[in-house]
Amino acid sequence: MPRQYYGGELPDYFIVDSDSHVDESKCELWKRFPTELQHLAPRQFQDPNWQDIQHVARGSGLGSTRKYDNIWVIEHSKVFPNSDYRTGPYGKLATFAPHSADQWFNREGERDPKERVKDLDEEGFDLTFVFCVLHQNLLNTIDNPEIALHFARGWNDWISEWTDGFRERIRGTAILPLHDVDLALEELRRASEMGLGGAYLPCQFKGEWLYKEKFHPILEECQKLGFPVSIHQQLHMSVGMKRLDNEFLKHLFMGIDAPFSVCGFIASGILDKLPDLKIAWIEQGAGWLPYFLDRLEEHYEIMPDMVPNPRFAKPNEYFGEQLFIAFEPEEADYLPFLISKVGAGGLLIGSDYSHFDCLSPLTVQKVLDHPEVNDMDKKRILSDNGINFWNLDPSSYSRKIPWITRDTT
């Protein structure tokens, strides 16, 4: 019997969503910390006095749906959102609005996995991979490596529990305490054994790009474990966050770290040293990619002594082999050009369910109804590439885990 979805009849292949989210407001990770460290764990703070005056008394905040009384206190010395986020008189935060009344926004499926499965069926996805947003930003704000370790463990345990019983349809991604490479390796191995889908790493951590030698042991271990590296956008600590002066522009350029990261990974030579490592850039757009790959290829020619000898003659040849990028559903018009410049084999689809700027439930439909993309390329984008990147067994769609022998002496 043909499968039905929002847009009509689905093709007969497994469809993978490489980007979705859950409601992180109820995680309460501080409760998972050892008792002696709970006082240092990031915790949400609410001041009832701020609730009393609300936004009216603050004048410039009138109309904002984001209240000022919800902040996170981190290690007693930092708050989030901090002054990097707050802009305008009285530190105004922007009001977010969805694209249209028909768009899914703040769905119950962000809180209840049973409801998520229903939405997956309606949108046309067989499997989705879940990312945190708030907790990765908070993790990168922490300074103490021990606190970071327990915070990462807490999220990885929480998302594992949230998806328990539903992992044939919903899988979490692991965050790591990059503050200390040995601690990150410890948590990486634990996350892999727990069955999480991949590692969620930022483009840069506290000003250091992830392709740098410091982080090579983590990338090497991801290759050994068959654990894909998903570099999801994050606003906090990004180039755009640090260099721009209001929230509108900060959010507009929240994916600006991705070109630095893509070009850095290719030009650094780390992909040639780790040929089985797989990396994808998620929720950072893709329309910019051909320009920077062309520019990177040009620099191979004009500054050849500045980069190691690459395995591939052209930078775009890494895509579909080791590298992947998730285009936004809003970018569907770019697909023919992206395919011509990068190849269909390196493109993933991510719904961003159900954030205010997603296009759910239209994500799958945007690809299937595209008049200029052939059926073979549609299958690559919706199915084959996701199976390839997330290292899934095509028969069971579970993650393929290599046999690892570790020296325990």
Domain boundaries, the chain: 4-26+103-389
* Mean pLDDT score, 143-153: 97
Comparing C-alpha atoms, which of 45, 154, 169 is closest to residue 112? 169
Examine residue 402 and say whether the peptide bond preceding it is cis (omega within 30 degrees of 0). Answer: no
What is the distance between the alpha carbons of residues 179 and 186, in angstroms, rounded to a whole number?
12
Give kind and range of the element (H or E) at residue 157: helix 145-163
Q: Say if residue 354 is preceded by a cis peptide, omega within 30 of 0.
A: yes
User: Do 345 and 353 meet the contact criterion of CB atoms below 8 Å apart?
Assistant: no
> Is CATH 3.20.20.140 what the domain over 4-26+103-389 is classified as, yes or no?
yes
Q: Where are the beta strands (DSSP E) in 83-200?
A: 127-131, 170-172, 199-200
Q: Which of 173, 236, 165 is nearest to 200 (CA)?
A: 173
pLDDT at res. 93: 65
Higher pLDDT, 16 or 25: 16
Lowest mean pLDDT of 38-52, 262-276, 365-379, name the range.
38-52
Percent of the chain with pLDDT over 90: 73
Which amino acid is present at 308? P
Query: What is the rounded CA–CA span in Å between residue 106 and residue 313?
Result: 45
pLDDT bracket for residue 405 (50, 70, 90):
very low
Tokens of 155: 């999220």
Give the span between the Cα atoms of 63 and 331, in whole angstroms.
Answer: 30
Answer whether residue 14 shows pLDDT above 60: yes
Please report where in the chains the tokens 């701020």 appear, as a residue: 50
User: What pLDDT score was predicted for residue 59?
Assistant: 43
Q: How far apart are the first and last CA of the chain?
A: 55
**Residue 253 to residues 209, 241, 286, Cα–Cα distance (Å):** 18, 8, 13
| Number of other CB atoms surrounding residue 8 within 10 Å | 11
pLDDT digits (tens, 9 = 90+) for 169-217: 999 999 999 999 999 999 999 999 999 999 999 999 999 999 999 999 9
In this structure, are residues 21 and 355 in contact, taking their beta carbons and an 8 Å threshold? Answer: yes
Question: What was the pLDDT predicted at 65?
Answer: 45
* pLDDT computed for residue 69 by the predictor: 52
Tally of residues, the chain = 409
Q: Which two tokens stand for residue 102?
A: 């028909």
**DSSP designation for 381:** I
Task: Give mean pLDDT, residues 1-27.
Answer: 93
What is the arrangement of strands in the sheet containing 70-74, beginning at the earlier edge strand? 43-46, 70-74, 78-80
The beta strand positions in 37-126, using DSSP E, are 43-46, 70-74, 78-80
Angle of helix 289-302 versus helix 335-342 axis, rounded to 10: 20
Quote the tokens at residue 37. 């460290």
Summarised one tens digit per residue, pLDDT across range 280-315 is 999 999 999 999 999 999 999 999 999 999 999 999
Task: Give the mean model confidence (pLDDT) for residues 138-160.
Answer: 96
Cβ contact 227:198 at 8 Å:
yes
Compute the radius of gyration of the chain from its Cα atoms: 21
Q: Rounded to the nearest 5 degrees, what angle is found at the Cα of 339, between the Cα atoms of 334 and 341? A: 95
d(CA 267, CA 272): 10
- pLDDT score, position 408: 40
What are the tokens at 17?
């969503």
Query: How confident is the model at residue 75, as a pLDDT?
Result: 79
Q: Is the pLDDT of residue 60 over 50?
A: no
Single out the residue of 70, 75, 31 nearest to residue 50, CA to CA.
70
Rounded Cα distance, 157 and 194, in Å: 9
Mean pLDDT of the chain: 89
What is the CA 372 to chain-centroid distance, rounded?
Answer: 28
Beta pairing class for 208-209 and 204-205: antiparallel
Which two tokens mark 202?
Answer: 């930022």
0.95 cut: is pTM over it?
no
Contact 109, 354 (CB under 8 A): yes
Of the ranges 131-145, 244-258, 391-405, which is most confident? 131-145
**Taking residues 347-355, what's their average pLDDT?**
96
CB atoms within 10 A of CB 241: 21
**Euclidean distance between CA atoms 336 and 343, whole angstroms:** 9
- pLDDT at position 227 is 97
pLDDT exceeds 70 at position 50: no
